[in-house]
Amino acid sequence: MNKITTLISAALVTGLSFNLATAQELKLCSTSEMMAKYFEEHPSLKAQYLAEQQQEEQLDIAAFANGYKEGDGKSMLPIYTIPVVFHILHLGGTENISDAQIHDQVRILNEDYRKLNSDISAVVSSFTSIASDCEIQIRLAQKDPSGNCTNGIDRIYSAETNIGDDDSKLNQWPRNKYLNVWVVKAISSGAAGYAYKPGATVFTPAIDGIVILSTYIGSIGTGSPSRSRALTHEIGHYLNLDHTWGGTNNPGVDCTGSDAVSDTPTTEGHTACLLTDAVCNPPVIENVQNFMEYAYCSNMFTNGQRTRMRSALTSSTASRNNLWSAANLTSTGISTPAVLCLCDFQSNDALNTVCQGDNLTFTDLAWNGTPTSWNWTFPGGTPSSSTDSVPVITYNTPGVYNVSLVVANGSGSVNATKTSYITVYPNDATYANAFYSEGFEGSAIPNIDWNVRNANAGSNTWTQTTAAAATGTKSVRIVNASTYDTHVDELISPPIDMTAIVGTPVLTYKIAHAQKTATSADKLQIYVSSSCAQSWSLRQSITGAALSTAGIIGSGSFTPTASQWVTRTLSLASLASDTSLFIMFKFTSNAGNNIYLDDINIMGNVGVDELTNNLNFNVYPNPSEDNTLISFKLIENARTDIAIYDVVGKEVATVFSGNLNTGEHQYLIADKTKLSAGVYFIRLNVGGENFTKKLIVK
C-alpha cells in the first residue's frame, strides 16, 4: 500500500461546547483566538504548517474506501486500536471524577466508533446506508511510558484544572504511543473541549491531545448522557475531521464551507436537531445527526468520515500511524493478556469514616486482570477477615484501623495495605471532664484523638511541628506557603461531653498566620457536629487580613514569634447540653503563608469574663520549675476552691478549699504537691464562678 497522508483543513484547532438550556445559547470554541495567539507566539511555525499542508496528498476518499471492500460489500478493514491515557487534573473537588466515570466514557467511545450505540436505530432513513462502523476502538493503556503497570488514568493535583489551556497539558505521555486526554474543571476559552488536528502538531508535539471538561466525561457521576458525546466529537478532530460545515467553529452562517468528505451533504451547520433541514441544497437533507455537528442529537459517522479518520491513522503526520502498530500495542500493554498488576480498593464512604456499630462495604479496584479470589484483613472489624468479593464489615470499637487485601487469579497475586484508612468515631464522648484541653504535645496527628482529612493524600496538611509553639514545644501547622489555592484540610477533635464542662462553655485557641500579599484570602472555619461527625454546622469563619496575626510575609515559610500568636474565642453556650460534640478546624488555602494552631481549650467562664474579672488572678512564673505562686484578690468574703488538673481533666491536687476573707491571697504550689514536667490547669472557684489558668512546668 502506498503511504496515505492526512488531509488537513485550514482550521487547526477544533472544539465543542454544549449548553443544555437551549441550542441557541451554544458557546462555540475559541479556534480563531487560540490560533491567532498560537501563531503570534510562534510566527515561524505558520509558514512551516502551510508548507506541510501543500505537501499533503489529495485523496480520492471513495476510491480509498472501496479498496477495502469485498465484492459483497463486506468490510475488510483492520480494526485500529488506540491506547489512551486520561490525565485528571484536580484540586480534590468534583472534577476528580471516578474511575467508573472514565470507564463509562470509554464504553461510549467504543460504541460510537463501532456503530454499536443504541441510538444508531434513530438515524434518519436518508443516512442509514452510509452510517459507518469506523472500525476504530479505544483502550485504556495498561503500561505507562516506563513499562510500569497503569490503569490508563493519571491523577494530577494541580490548579491548572481551573485554567484548561495548552499549559495545562501536564505529564504528557509520548504522543506517538498514546492519545492524551486532559480532564479539567474549566477551560479558559469557555468551550467544553478542544483538540488539535494532526497537521497542527507536527512541529509542536507538546500540544497534541485533547482537553475536555470533567462534566463532559461519561454518562454517570458528574457527566450526563446528553454531554457524553463531546469526546467522540473531539477524537474526530484529533483524527483530522472537520465540522460538517467546514473548518470553522461558526455553524449556521452560510453554505460555502466543506469538510472535504464526499458523502456528508453541504450544510451550514446546526445548533438544533432539525432532522429534515435541507437549507443548502434542497431537497437534499443535511446530516444533522453527525457526530461532527452541534445539533444535540449526534449518533453517527459516515463512510467518508471513517475513511478520513483511518487515513489519518495510516499517516506519519503527528505519528498517528504508530498508535495502533503491533509493537505499540505490546508496549502499552493493550495486546498482552490481562495480568493483575496492582491491588487497590475502596469503601462505600468517601471519607472512610463510620460511627461505632455501623458498617462499611468494600470493593476491590484491582488493575488490569480480573481477580478470582480475595483475602481481606480488617483489624478492628467484624468479621476481621473475609474472602468475599464485596465484604460488609461492622466496626464496634472506636479507633483508626488499617485495611489489607490480597487478590489473585491465574496470572498471580498482588496485595495492598492502607494504613490508618478507617476512622471509627465513638457514639459516646471520649472526654467528659470539667474542661477540655489540647496542646499537641503528645503523639503525632492523626492519632486516637485528632483526625486529619486531606483532599489530596501526600500533600501539605495539618501536622505536628516543633518549629513553633504558643506554649510548650509543639503545635500543629499547614505549610501553606507551598500549597495549591483552594486546597482544603480539616482537623477534627475527639467527641467531648459538653455537659461535663463547669460553667458556660467557651472554646479558645491560639493561632498564628501570615498573608503573602494584601489579597491573600486564606480562610479558617470552625464547624461543630452532634451527629458522630456525619454532618457539620458552621460556627466561625475568619478570612484574609482578619485571619493574619503577623501581617504580610511575602517570601519564605512563615514561622511565628511569641508576639505573633493570638488567642481567639468562640462561645459554645448553645451547645452546653450536647453529650458528644465534635469540633472541626477547616482551612482553605488561597495564596497565603503558613498557619499554626495551639492550645485548644473548652472551659467554663473563660475568655472575656476571665479578662475582665476583678480578682487579679495570676499564676507565675509561667513556665516554671517548682516555685509557682498562685495569687488573687477577693473584694468580699467568699467560698473559695483552688485545684490543679492535668491535661485530661484529672484532679492532681487540691491547693485550698474553704472560706476566705476579703483581701490578697497567695499559695505556693510546691507547698501542696510536686508537679512533674507537663501542662496543667489551675482552677479558681470563687462563690461558684470558675476561672482557669494554664501552667507549664519545665
The beta strand positions in 185-273, using DSSP E, are 193-196, 210-213
- How many CA within 13 A on the CB side of residue 427? 6
For helices 230-238 and 99-113, the axis angle rounded to 10 degrees is 60
624 by Cβ neighbours in 10 Å (0-12 / 13-18 / 19+) ranks as middle
- Distance in angstroms (rounded) separating the CA atoms of residues 379 and 403: 7
- Distance in angstroms (rounded) separating the CA atoms of residues 124 and 109: 21
113 by Cβ neighbours in 10 Å (0-12 / 13-18 / 19+) ranks as buried
- Distance in angstroms (rounded) separating the CA atoms of residues 438 and 446: 13
- Distance in angstroms (rounded) separating the CA atoms of residues 291 and 295: 9
- Distance in angstroms (rounded) separating the CA atoms of residues 215 and 192: 9
Active-site option among 234, 268, 438, 490: 234
- Distance in angstroms (rounded) separating the CA atoms of residues 242 and 9: 7
Which run of H or of E encompasses 304? helix 303-313
Sign of torsion, CA 434 439 443 448? positive
The alpha carbons of the chain give a radius of gyration, in whole angstroms, of 33
Strands 399-409 and 412-425 turn out to be antiparallel
Q: How far is CA 649 from CA 568, 629, 643, 679, in A?
A: 22, 21, 11, 11
636 is catalytic: no
Name 603's bridge partners: 506
If DSSP states are collapsed to H, E and C, what string results for 363-388? EECCEECCCCEEEEECCCEECCEECC
Alpha-carbon 15 to chain mean position: 25
- Distance in angstroms (rounded) separating the CA atoms of residues 555 and 411: 53
Q: How far is CA 134 from CA 76, 113, 218, 223, 569, in A?
A: 12, 5, 20, 25, 67
Q: Residue for cell digits 496470572? A: 411
Inter-residue contact 194 to 236 (CB < 8 Å): no
- Distance in angstroms (rounded) separating the CA atoms of residues 213 and 183: 6
70 by Cβ neighbours in 10 Å (0-12 / 13-18 / 19+) ranks as exposed
- Distance in angstroms (rounded) separating the CA atoms of residues 309 and 317: 12
Look up residue 266 and give its DSSP letter: P
End-to-end Cα distance, the chain: 86
Give residue 88's identity as a one-letter amino acid code: I
Q: Which of 516, 513, 532, 534 is nearest to 524 (CA)?
A: 513
260: how many CB neighbours lie within 10 A of its CB? 18
Residues labelled as active-site residues: 234
